[in-house]
Amino acid sequence: MNTSPSETGGLFPGSFAVPAEDGGPIQTNIPAVMVRNGLGQLLISQLANSEEIMVRLAVTEPFREAAIPLEPGNFNVRQIRVTGNTIDDHAEARRIIDFANGNGPNEGWNIVVDQSDTRNLIDIAGSGGNFPHNHPYPDGTTGEGQNDVLIHVTTIRPFFVPEGEWTIGFVSDDGAQLTLSGVTFNEENGTDDADAGLDDTLLFNAAGAFGATSGSFTSPPGGMTVDVDASFFERSGGDVFEITIKEGHFGNSSPINGTWVSLRDGALGWTVQSDPILSDLTGNGFVDFEDLTVLLANWNKDVGVAGGNLVSPLVTVVNFET
């Protein structure tokens, strides 16, 4: 019996349509968590025409991404390229960022490129990587033509992370760092001796070949919000920087397309949090100073006045009752 996942995107990942040798096509529902966990083969029993038919489904790549175009998004991406002194490790790259921000001494660098944009995801790949997006640098450069260049990534607004176990990772060439605010990783893989251990930061400090670094953490009941501060540097040769996520605790698992996804708004429930919107909180028919007073009085409280909606910097205020 020839069995394979349906090519129909509408059935994926919640269900699959598989051919049966008799009885016609069978649609088999699969719990999403089983698909997200990347089971290599799933054996399912299903009754059809009063006979039990065994259906084997290949679900090794439940999230394979096609190339996603570069668009403005939640990531601030800054490119800095220097001459006069080489970038020999990631610690030096961070000192260059400090110098460019006016917070540190010049160790002999000449900044020849300092350009920024905003992006929907992080996949900068002069020499290609695990994912197909391969976006250019902020100055438009593609390919491997740059030496002594770094990228600094920060989130514009926090991501909401649903409760549960998560793994976040990056692939880089050369070194890189990723800090996730409010998180303490319970396992880290692919770091080097410069990494401080189990904290909020993943670090591969040295210049070297293409490699993967990842860390697992727990988002508490109700979820949490996190900001991302990440950077990578390129000394010479091939260059790539990708940031990806995977649901669950996956230890030493290399971020690959098909079982991991690029971190972006909506990916696996990670959503960018909106700014609060001031509305008519007092019900007087106007949006005015009285509404602002109510908003400020209830800022960051679990509940608003008179049993209204949640009010915090990360929650849109609507239909607030007094």
pLDDT of residue 145: 79
Angle at 134 between CA 133 and CA 140, to 5 degrees: 125
CA distances from 29 to 61, 176, 179 (A): 17, 40, 38
Spell out the per-residue pLDDT of the chain, length 322, in tens.
333 333 333 323 333 343 444 444 444 443 333 332 333 333 333 333 333 333 333 445 677 899 999 999 999 999 999 999 999 999 999 999 999 999 999 999 999 999 999 999 999 977 678 999 999 999 999 988 789 999 999 999 999 999 999 999 999 988 999 999 999 999 999 999 899 989 999 999 999 878 899 999 999 999 999 999 999 999 988 899 999 999 999 877 778 888 899 999 999 999 999 865 556 677 776 777 787 787 777 765 543 333 344 334 443 444 434 3
Residue 306 φ/ψ region, left for φ over 0, alpha for ψ in the -120 to 50 degree band, beta for the rest = left
Length of the chain as a residue count = 322
Domains along the sequence of the chain with CATH: 9-58 (no CATH), 75-272 (2.60.120), 274-322 (no CATH)
The DSSP result for 202-261, as a single string, is EEE-B--SSEEEEEEEEEPTT-EEE-EEEEEEE-SS--EEEEEEEES--SS----BBTBE
CA distances from 257 to 11, 114, 231, 269, 315 (A): 20, 31, 21, 18, 32
